[in-house]
């Protein structure tokens, strides 16, 4: 029956919820002995483990590059994107956040407050909300266990008579009995103390030495900084008072400890337990809490109204948890200033009781709100600012568009056009001038056909983790570790009068509004959106939408697009010729051993082809290999190749080492030269053959058959390669080839 099945499922779920019930101290110690690494965690180590649970270990961007700066490619989809309001972190923010968290394992932010700073509309509130939601989710998983102290005291006898019967603890039956409320009562530690802190500090090391038999695990526990808190921290005043009063009566630490029933620390945002998020309009509470019912039971149990003062602050509720301020305005300004001494000293006074607070203090704020604490030097030193700017990576910007509009949004555009739309939007978030780029590339005129004056297009590639292939060898060589760090620093550091990049320009909300209007004008079912559509839109509408474009940037994006298109078409045409190139090189290496003449024909043993060795034949291949030059230089190159072929290629590599012709160094050298130079001249057929454009127009039509076989093969191959290599549709491939011809990109 459905009713029984539903009840069974509910029962299974409730059984899982039992993991939050208190367990006997001996059972907890068994868990500790088997897995000290996860049971001995505070909030900082828990946060560190949570981040690495949801974010797979990133891959090194340039593993074989000695100049890399340690940036990695991270996937934040499970951490921040699986939400009703997803947040997309670009490469810069992802690495910034992971670098910050790397110090959490050792508790580095324990006397700091971490403020995520970003301009309005950067999504910092969504970022922080999603991050904290994921932390709560993690604490509900088996991997996210964190333990706290619960005291279980005899409800009947107390110190007034009878015995304290907790040598072995209550049985499961007693624990779950509906009428056992008088047998015992539980006192959860309001400060969420880890149970191990209840063992007297002077005895913990010896106790754990006896408990943990795994020597490597014990060595890590005793000597690594991340576990220092286990031996240094004291329990809260309430737990200390309970321990002292029990020990005074029982005269035995073991008996006292058996009255501790550890349980998993359950984070609950709604109740403010383990994690409290304060919005700027939330009123400030009274600051202190008590529980009259538990206080009376404690007074009755100990027969002394002064034995245990059950009083604690609001901060205790998030001790060993997270205290978060969402936007430093209004009431949160006062909350932030009130944290000054607590963050610095880790101590808070509640009436006459001193609390030790060790929480993760975090918040989000706009840049202008920093003036609140910058006038307090001692507080300023305690603040760790992490910038959450507008997105500076165009591929991440496109992901945001796809989430907002449609997952197939790219299919509305010709390949690369949506990315260029994102580049134009992102340019408004950059500073015009870059000292690091100017210092690195002093001869920008080399790239003037497709690079803007400020080098923003180049910087966008670098921010996205790409080292452009179009850089000269000299510039690639000079792109060293120091240069990379200087460029990245411009995205993070504010200079006098110049904000860090991403702290101004079009916000995420504004960019969505601009794209929405653009699509309303240009998205049609029967055509793809082109670069000309994007170019004309920003030329005409930038003033209407108050888009602060740099003077030459739009033209540079258009030129950059044209350059990219030319490279794609070159690559697509060249790919068709690669098999023939292999034959040409093998035939050439064999033919240069014969004197050219009008009737000299040889059979090449490598290709099984008959080659007519003429000066024109050899010369045409040599022009591709070494370019235009004098006949003297050409003959000198030919003689050099012949000597190498006889003395090294044929005699040593093929004769002695048994290599095939295509495995030799000489073949590899010539193949590289042929492909490099051949690619540069790949567009000549499109430029010089008037029928090329007509054949593209007639493709798939009956008229296409009237063209010669060679031209039909070249056009068919070109269109096919554009689809398989660069993601064009068939119609898009035709469209981009016609665009290239009409705009003389060839």
For the cut 50, the answer to whether the pLDDT of residue 619 exceeds it is yes
Please give the average per-residue pLDDT across 200-229, as a whole number: 92
With b meaning 16 or more CB within 10 Å and e meaning fewer, what string describes 403-421? eeeeeebbebbbbbbbbbb
Please list the helix, strand and coil fractions of the chain in percent, rounded to the nearest 5, in that order.
55, 10, 35
Per DSSP, what are the bridge partners of residue 148?
Answer: 263
pLDDT bucket at 573, cuts 50 / 70 / 90:
confident
Query: Distance between CA atoms of 248 and 268, rounded to whole angstroms?
Result: 36
Instruction: Give Cα 15 distance to the centre of its chain.
Output: 36
For the cut 80, the answer to whether the pLDDT of residue 100 exceeds it is yes
Please give the average per-residue pLDDT across 627-637, as a whole number: 82
Please give the average per-residue pLDDT across 200-215, as a whole number: 92
pLDDT value at residue 262:
96
Q: Pick 262 or 683 by higher pLDDT.
A: 262
Residue 740 contacts residue 686 (beta carbons within 8 Å): yes
Query: Distance between CA atoms of 188 and 263, rounded to whole angstroms?
Result: 9
For the cut 70, the answer to whether the pLDDT of residue 8 exceeds it is no
For the cut 80, the answer to whether the pLDDT of residue 43 exceeds it is yes
Query: Distance between CA atoms of 565 and 357, rounded to whole angstroms?
Result: 60
pLDDT value at residue 673:
84
Eight-class DSSP state of 105? G
Query: Distance between CA atoms of 138 and 161, rounded to whole angstroms?
Result: 45
User: Sign (positive/negative) of CA torsion 650, 655, 656, 661?
Assistant: positive
Count of all residues that appear for the chain in the document: 746
The DSSP bridge pattern shows strands 150-154 and 184-188 to be antiparallel
pLDDT bucket at 684, cuts 50 / 70 / 90:
low
Task: Say if pTM beats, i.e. exceeds, 0.75.
Answer: yes
For residue 182, give every residue at least 6 positions away whose Cβ sits within 8 Å of its Cβ, in sequence order, or none.
Answer: 155, 156
Q: Pick 684 or 607 by higher pLDDT.
A: 607
Query: Distance between CA atoms of 549 and 285, rounded to whole angstroms?
Result: 48
Query: Distance between CA atoms of 127 and 45, rounded to whole angstroms?
Result: 20
> For the segment 711-731, what is each residue's pLDDT rounded down to a tens digit?
788 889 899 999 999 999 999
Query: Distance between CA atoms of 565 and 741, rounded to whole angstroms?
Result: 11
Please give the average per-residue pLDDT across 228-242, as a whole number: 93
Lowest mean pLDDT among 384-398, 470-484, 509-523: 470-484
pLDDT value at residue 20:
76
Structure tokens at 227: 């576990």
For the cut 60, the answer to whether the pLDDT of residue 116 exceeds it is yes
Structure tokens at 274: 């383990």
Q: Pick 142 or 157 by higher pLDDT.
A: 142
Question: What is the full DSSP assignment across 603-667?
Answer: E-TTT--EEE--HHHHHHHHHHHH-S--HHHHHHHHHHHHHHIIIIIIIIIIIIS---GGGSHHH
pLDDT value at residue 448:
86
Residue 414 contacts residue 531 (beta carbons within 8 Å): yes
pLDDT value at residue 18:
62
pLDDT bucket at 411, cuts 50 / 70 / 90:
very high
Percent of the chain with pLDDT over 70: 91
Cβ neighbours, 10 Å, residue 213: 10
Which helix H or strand E contains 439, and what residues bound it?
A: helix 435-440
pLDDT value at residue 162:
37
Q: Which residue has the tokens 């290629």?
A: 649
Average pLDDT of the chain? 87
Eight-class DSSP state of 587? H
pLDDT value at residue 647:
92
Residue 23 contacts residue 263 (beta carbons within 8 Å): yes
pLDDT value at residue 381:
83
Which of 562, 540, 561 is closest to 423 using CA atoms? 561
Query: Distance between CA atoms of 67 and 462, rounded to whole angstroms?
Result: 14
pLDDT value at residue 165:
41
Please give the average per-residue pLDDT across 457-472, as a whole number: 90
Q: What are phi and psi of 29, to 5 degrees?
A: -65, -30
Residue 263 contacts residue 148 (beta carbons within 8 Å): yes
For the cut 50, the answer to whether the pLDDT of residue 271 exceeds it is yes
Cβ neighbours, 10 Å, residue 164: 17
User: Hey, is 180 helix, strand or coil?
Assistant: coil
Structure tokens at 689: 């053959």
pLDDT bucket at 9, cuts 50 / 70 / 90:
low
How buried is 522 (Cβ within 10 angstroms: 0-12 exposed, 13-18 middle, 19+ buried)? middle
Question: What is the full DSSP assignment across 265-309?
Answer: ---BTTTTBSEEEEETTSPP--SEEE-HHHHHHHHHHHT-TTS--
pLDDT value at residue 176:
37
For the cut 90, the answer to whether the pLDDT of residue 677 exceeds it is no
505 in the Ramachandran plot: left (φ > 0), alpha (ψ -120 to 50) or beta?
A: left
Angle between helices 215-223 and 201-211 (to 10 degrees): 160
């Amino acid at each position: 029956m459905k009713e029984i099945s539903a009840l069974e499922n509910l029962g299974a779920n409730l059984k899982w919820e039992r993991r939050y019930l208190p367990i006997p101290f001996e059972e907890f110690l068994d868990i500790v002995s088997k897995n000290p690494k996860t049971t001995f965690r505070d909030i900082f180590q828990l946060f560190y483990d949570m981040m690495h649970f949801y974010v797979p270990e990133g891959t090194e961007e340039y593993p074989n590059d000695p100049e890399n700066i340690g940036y990695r490619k991270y996937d934040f989809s499970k951490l921040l994107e699986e939400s009703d309001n997803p947040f997309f972190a670009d490469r810069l923010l992802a690495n910034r956040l992971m670098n910050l968290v790397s110090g959490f394992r050792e508790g580095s932010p324990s006397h700091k407050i971490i403020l995520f700073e970003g301009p309005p509309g950067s999504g910092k509130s969504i970022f922080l909300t999603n991050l904290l939601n994921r932390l709560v989710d993690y604490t509900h998983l088996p991997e996210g266990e964190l333990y706290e102290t619960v005291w279980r005291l005899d409800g009947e006898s107390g110190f007034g008579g009878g015995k304290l019967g907790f040598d072995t603890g209550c049985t499961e039956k007693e624990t779950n009995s509906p009428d056992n409320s008088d047998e015992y009562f539980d006192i959860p530690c309001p400060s969420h103390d880890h149970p191990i802190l209840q063992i007297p500090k002077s005895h913990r090391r010896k106790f754990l030495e006896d408990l943990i038999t795994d020597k490597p695990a014990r060595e890590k526990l005793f000597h690594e900084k991340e576990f220092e808190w286990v031996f240094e921290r004291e329990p809260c005043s309430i737990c200390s008072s309970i321990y002292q009063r029990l020990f005074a009566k029982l005269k035995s630490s073991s008996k006292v400890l058996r009255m501790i029933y550890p349980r998993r620390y359950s984070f609950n945002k709604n109740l403010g337990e383990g994690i409290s998020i304060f919005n700027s309009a939330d009123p400030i509470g009274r600051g202190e809490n008590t529980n009259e019912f538990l206080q009376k039971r404690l007074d009755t149990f100990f027969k002394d109204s002064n034995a245990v003062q059950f009083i604690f602050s609001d901060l205790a509720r998030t001790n060993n948890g997270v205290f978060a301020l969402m936007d430093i305005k209004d009431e949160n300004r006062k909350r932030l200033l009130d944290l000054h001494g607590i963050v610095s000293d880790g101590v808070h006074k509640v009436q006459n009781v001193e609390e030790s607070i060790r929480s993760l203090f975090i918040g989000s704020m706009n840049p202008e709100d920093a003036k609140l604490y910058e006038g307090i030097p001692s507080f300023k030193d305690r603040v760790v600012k992490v910038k959450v700017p507008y997105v500076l990576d165009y591929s991440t910007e496109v992901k945001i568009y796809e989430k907002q509009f449609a997952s197939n949004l790219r299919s509305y555009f010709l390949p690369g056009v949506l990315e260029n739309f994102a580049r134009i939007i992102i340019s408004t978030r950059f500073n015009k001038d870059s000292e690091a780029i100017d210092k690195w590339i002093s001869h920008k005129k080399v790239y003037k056909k497709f690079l803007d004056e400020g080098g923003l297009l180049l910087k966008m590639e670098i921010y996205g983790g790409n080292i452009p292939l179009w850089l000269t060898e000299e510039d690639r060589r000079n792109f060293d570790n120091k240069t990379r760090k200087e460029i990245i620093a411009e995205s993070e550091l504010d200079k006098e009068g110049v904000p860090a990049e991403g702290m101004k320009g079009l916000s995420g909300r504004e960019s969505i509004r601009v794209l929405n209007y653009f699509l309303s004008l240009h998205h049609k079912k029967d055509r793809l959106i082109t670069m000309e559509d994007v170019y004309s839109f920003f030329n005409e509408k930038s003033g209407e939408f108050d888009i602060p474009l740099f003077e030459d940037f739009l033209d540079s994006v258009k030129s950059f697009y044209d350059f990219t298109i030319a490279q794609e078409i070159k690559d697509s045409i060249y790919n068709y010729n690669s098999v023939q190139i292999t034959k040409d090189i093998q035939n050439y290496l064999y033919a240069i051993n014969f004197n050219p003449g009008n009737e000299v024909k040889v059979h090449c043993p490598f290709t099984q082809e008959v080659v007519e060795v003429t000066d024109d034949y050899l010369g045409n291949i040599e022009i591709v290999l070494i370019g235009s030059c004098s006949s003297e230089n050409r003959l000198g190159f030919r003689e050099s190749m012949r000597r190498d072929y006889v003395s090294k290629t044929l005699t040593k590599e093929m004769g002695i080492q048994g290599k095939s012709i295509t495995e030799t160094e000489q073949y590899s050298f010539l193949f590289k030269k042929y492909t490099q130079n051949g690619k540069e001249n790949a567009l000549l057929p499109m430029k010089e053959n008037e029928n090329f454009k007509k054949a593209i127009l007639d493709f798939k039509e009956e008229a296409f058959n009237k063209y010669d076989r060679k031209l039909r093969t070249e056009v068919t191959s070109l269109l096919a390669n554009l689809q398989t290599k660069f993601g064009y549709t068939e119609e898009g491939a035709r469209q981009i080839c016609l665009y290239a011809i009409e705009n003389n990109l060839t």
